[in-house]
A and B are shown apart, each in its own frame.
Chain A
């Protein structure tokens, strides 16, 4: 009996060490890139020997990098608006369907998430080549909106399901038309979900490489495409700083939204209790 307990404890400790080690392995890339970006020496050191912000200074003084950064932000912003609008319409429409039609249309709208990017990119490249859209910003924007769409549909839909239909019915019975009910009742309740969906859509576009690689041209490179080029074909001493920025921007944007949603959820749970 005693031996069994000791064995159990050793097993427990081994499991804990294993679990912590795996989580550390998953976090390794993030942990490594930040100190690298503050090093003036071009070699990798966990603790920089020449601590400096020179990489960042040079990065922000470099018009070519600022140019692509700005273009990526613009593309992501438009893709976000398109995906959020189309996705919200879709979620509202799906909610009104019967079970059978619903699962079919849902699967259709979510499928861009399942098909590998490379397949979508190759097919879109061919179509856009016919239409003369390869190398245009429009091509990248609409395809980014397409792959962000599933995220918006899933998020908005799950929020819609948790909203009680009573409010909308009350609004209708008081004589408000559907548009008015939507604007005054449904939309405010969806607000947080829409912000979350928008941020996620922005992030999907801002981060996307494969489609942008195929569809953007020499003059319409996005930040990840330029990053890809400089990682594979030239060695830029600024890479660590750019990488750190690309990693930090989404965190800075997403963290407050997640915090807001968490707070809202806790509040509503507290309110129901």
Chain B
């Protein structure tokens, strides 16, 4: 028994040291600096609330994450419903196609959106040649551009949990509902929707969590004026070297992520793999 414990400890020593040294220690240190330990001041957090510019950044971050999540739900749920009812082969292809962009560079996907959405980009030229607009629409360097690209990247985060939930519904339940006289709409409302509620909520939470921490997309498609919390962290670390303030922002983001993630874990099916963005 003792020997076996020793073996387990030997196996875990290096991994634990690795994660503690490179992840836990720097994060704890950052949280400490944000409170300027041992002084334990909250004045950097106070600044987040008092200074209007920072309040705007917070509100913006929350709004962008919320709208992204909502649009992902509106696009992702029906698509998952459609894919769930396909034949086995077609479903496998559809799943591969949705998963495919996951493997592709985040940077490149954002870059392509920049070329598509700029004033002389494909979307504007299409709209103009169709005579729908006279002057090019402003599709990037604003919140709209950020939203389009974020939705494009995050739909799979709703799609997959919903699909998993849909496929887990035993077909017999729907047959039973229909044979009891419910029409399709009623079956959807009374059977499908309640049984996919947890998966859907998990997917939405995940989307929201990932959206909160987005850095690359706002920087590329939003331009310098569209600051979100992550851009503000980067700015304070790299440009003004205001560590305590940067870390109070980082701690706030970290704390929100952890709380939301715990809620997600309570809802989610196990073993969901996500990709850091």
- Residues of A at the B interface (CB closer than 8 Å) are 4, 8, 15-16, 18-20, 22-23, 25-30, 32-33, 36, 43-44, 46, 86-87, 89-90, 92-94, 96-97, 105, 108-109, 111-127, 142-143, 145-147, 149, 151, 154, 158, 178, 203-204, 207-210, 214, 224, 227-228, 231-232, 239, 243, 246-247, 250-251, 254
Contacts and interface: CB of A to CB of B under 8 A. Distances in A.
A45 B153 CA distance: 23
Given A115-B23, A151-B273, A204-B275, 13 more contacts: A19-B81, A26-B98, A28-B152, A90-B15, A96-B4, A113-B274, A117-B277, A122-B247, A126-B243, A224-B107, A243-B112, A247-B108, A250-B104
A223 to B, nearest CB: 9
A86 B97 contact: no
Given A15-B82, A207-B105, A119 B250 contact: yes
B182 interface: no
B237 interface: yes
Nearest to A25: B152
Which of A96, A204, A210 counts the most B-chain CB atoms under 10 A from its CB? A210
For the complex of A and B, 6 pairs with smallest distance between CB atoms: A116-B213, A19-B82, A93-B11, A90-B15, A93-B12, A123-B26
20 contacts: A19-B82, A29-B101, A108-B16, A108-B19, A114-B258, A118-B230, A119-B27, A119-B250, A119-B254, A120-B27, A123-B27, A124-B26, A126-B247, A149-B15, A154-B271, A207-B105, A224-B105, A239-B111, A246-B105, A251-B103
Contacts of A90: 11-12, 15
B152 A29 contact: yes
Given A18-B78, A19-B79, A154 B273 contact: yes
B204 interface: no
- Dominant secondary structure of chain B at its interface with chain A: helix
B79 A203 contact: no
Contact of B15 (A33, A109, A204): A109
A151 B271 CA distance: 11
A119 B250 CA distance: 5
Contact of A112 (B12, B23, B243, B277): B23
A191 to B, nearest CB: 19
B230 A116 contact: yes
Contacts of A94: 12
Contact of A97 (B8, B101, B209, B219): B8
B78 A29 contact: no
B104 A247 contact: yes
Nearest to B75: A22
A26 B99 CA distance: 9
B23 A43 contact: no
B109 A29 contact: yes
B16 to A, nearest CB: 7
Interface of B: 4, 7-8, 11-12, 14-16, 18-19, 22-27, 29-30, 33, 75-76, 78-79, 81-83, 94, 97-98, 100-101, 103-109, 111-116, 120-122, 152, 155-156, 183-184, 209, 212-213, 215-216, 219-220, 230, 233-234, 237-238, 243, 246-247, 250, 253-254, 257-258, 261, 271, 273-277
Contacts of B253: 116, 118-119
B22 A115 contact: no
Nearest to A239: B111
Nearest to B93: A23
A246 to B, nearest CB: 5
Contacts of B81: 15, 19
A109 B19 CA distance: 7
A227 B107 contact: yes
A15 to B, nearest CB: 5
Contacts of B4: 96
Contact of B16 (A23, A105, A203): A105
Which of B23, B98, B234 counts the most A-chain CB atoms under 10 A from its CB? B23
A154 to B, nearest CB: 6
A115 B78 contact: no
Nearest to A148: B276
B11 A92 contact: yes
Contacts of B215: 116-118, 210
Contacts of B183: 4
B30 A231 contact: no
A152 B187 CA distance: 41
Contacts of B230: 116, 118
Contact of B184 (A8, A29, A36): A8
